[in-house]
Structure formats: C-alpha cells, structure tokens
Amino acid sequence: MNLSKKRLLNFVSACSLAALTLASGAVAAAADVAAALAHPDRPTADAAADATRKPAQVLAFAGLETGMDVFEMEAAGGYYTEILSRSVGPNGSVVLQEAPGLMSFVGDGIDLRTANNRLANVRVSLSNFDALEAEDNSIDMVTWIQGPHELGFAPEGINLGDPAGAFREIVRVLKPGGVLLAVDHIAESGTGLEAGSSTHRVAESVITQMATQAGLSVLRSSDLLKNPTDPLTAHVYDASIRGKTSQFMVLYRK
C-alpha cells in the first residue's frame, strides 16, 4: 500500500471514530444549570437568593459540564449542592463537604438536601479542609464558594485544617486538567488570613498565592460578583453589607 492510500485510510478511520464518539454522546456538554434552577423540587428560599448569587453565570464561568465529578468544599446549607447535583446529572457526582468545626453554623441544611435520597448523586463528607475524602486524580472540579477565608478562622479554637495542606489536598484530588473554582468575600489589600476571623473575608492575592504554591495556575478570573461600593472592611454579616459584599471569582487549573 502506498503512502497516499495509508493517509486516506487513517483519515477515514479518524472521521469514523469522531462520528462514533459524537453519536455515543461522549463529548461533554455544558451543564443545563437553567433546568436545575427551575426544578420543581427546588426550595423557594434558594430561588430567592439567585439574583445576588448569580449561579448560572458563576457555573458557566467555571465551565461546568454534565457528567462531571464535583467536590464541593464547605457546602454549608447546600444552596449550590442542589444546583450542582441536578446540573451534572445522573452520570456525574457531587461530594458535599463540610468541616466538622463548622457544623454548628449549618443547621439542618445538609439533612434537608439529602433526606430520602432526593439528590441521589450526592455523597456527604465531614472532614477538615486538609483531609479531603476523595481518591487521587478523581475529581473534575472542586468548588469553594464563599469559603476559603475559613482557613483563617478557628471557631471556639477548633482548627479547620492547615491552609497549605488544604491546597495540596485540592491538587491531589483533582484530575490532570481539573479546576478549582474559588469565590470569596474580598478583604482589603495587605491583609492576610487573619481577616478570615475578623471580618470573614480574604484577599484574592492570598488565595492565589497558596493555590499557585500548591501547583495550580490561574485560568481566568471575573468581576461578576464585585461591588465597588463595598468598603471591604465591614464584617460580612454587618447589616450594611450583608448579601452585597464584593467577591472575587477565580478559576485555577491543575
């Protein structure tokens, strides 16, 4: 067989493989977050928060796809758990993680989300941030939304995990090419992790430094959740700014 015939056969084989891949649905599709938001079983209180939290835009920025395995750090009451679970679909999975030292702040949110197996692809994990319960290279996306500042917080003296260790764990569980979505209340420039305790904020530069030191790289960032009128000094639960804080949003890649 001459070279030109070999090239033609290789080309035809490649096209056939591509056609089979498309036909089997193996090509990842963007997650249908809109359908998750409109799901009839979604709590009314969740929908009321959408205007300020902007979950559709946030998850589009992150590149969420159907079938992904997502590790949701510090899921708290499960607002995003509900959305992620239905967005990734039955072929995907979500680990709802919370640090034991923060459970007193969660209330019954986790129980309500998981009662009667209503979110069948969700697994609950109670662990510190530096001891994530997932296999090496098993996760497509880690989300840490309004939470990285907790690395500077020790409720009633309870340690939530070593900061550097937490980012090493994120890198460990992510697949090659996997991503970390980090969103948090912005602290004023020049502050360190101590702002996580005093105002429940953190500077974007602090998180990026720890992420990059652990081996992640910045893929992109967004001003979607920033509020130029936020003085960045008030506690996030202060009535003057609660629900209106300026937040950074960065996507990092392994």
Separation of alpha carbons 239 and 221, rounded Å: 28
Paired tokens of 159: 């340690």
- Strands laid side by side in the 122-126 sheet: 122-126, 93-98, 69-73, 139-145, 174-185, 247-253, 217-222
Say yes or no: 5 and 51 in one domain.
Answer: no
Amino acid letter, 169: E
SS3 state of residue 15: helix
pLDDT band at 156 (very low <50, low <70, confident <90, very high): confident
Say yes or no: 11 and 93 in one domain.
Answer: no
Least confident of 39-48, 51-60, 90-99, 108-117: 108-117
pLDDT band at 5 (very low <50, low <70, confident <90, very high): very low
Give me the CATH number covering residue 197.
3.40.50.150
Say yes or no: 24 and 79 in one domain.
Answer: no
The model carries a pTM of 0.88
The pLDDT value recorded for residue 25 is: 40
Q: What is the mean pLDDT of residues 161-165?
A: 96
Say yes or no: 221 and 248 in one domain.
Answer: yes
Say yes or no: 89 and 198 in one domain.
Answer: yes
Say yes or no: 89 and 1 in one domain.
Answer: no
Say yes or no: 107 and 188 in one domain.
Answer: yes
Percent of the chain at pLDDT above 70? 89
Residue 108 vs residues 101, 116, 219, 241, 242: alpha-carbon distances, Å: 15, 14, 35, 25, 22
Look at the chain and report how many structural domains it folds into. Answer: 2
Say yes or no: 1 and 44 in one domain.
Answer: no
Separation of alpha carbons 62 and 64, rounded Å: 6
If 0-12 CB within 10 Å is exposed, 13-18 middle and 19+ buried, where does residue 32 land? middle
Say yes or no: 1 and 123 in one domain.
Answer: no
Question: Which residues in 127-215 belong to E strands, given as ranges?
Answer: 139-145, 174-185
Beta strand 247-253 with 217-222 is: antiparallel
Query: Quick check: 137 pLDDT over 50?
Result: yes
Domain that holds residue 20: 1-28
The pLDDT value recorded for residue 212 is: 98
Say yes or no: 211 and 116 in one domain.
Answer: yes
Backbone angles phi, psi at 188, to 5 degrees: -65, 150
Contact 202, 238 (CB under 8 A): no
Compute the Cα dihedral for 46, 101, 122, 223 and give only its sign.
positive
Say yes or no: 184 and 205 in one domain.
Answer: yes
Beta strand 69-73 with 93-98 is: parallel
SS3 state of residue 118: coil
**CB neighbours of residue 248 within 10 Å:** 23
Say yes or no: 132 and 226 in one domain.
Answer: yes
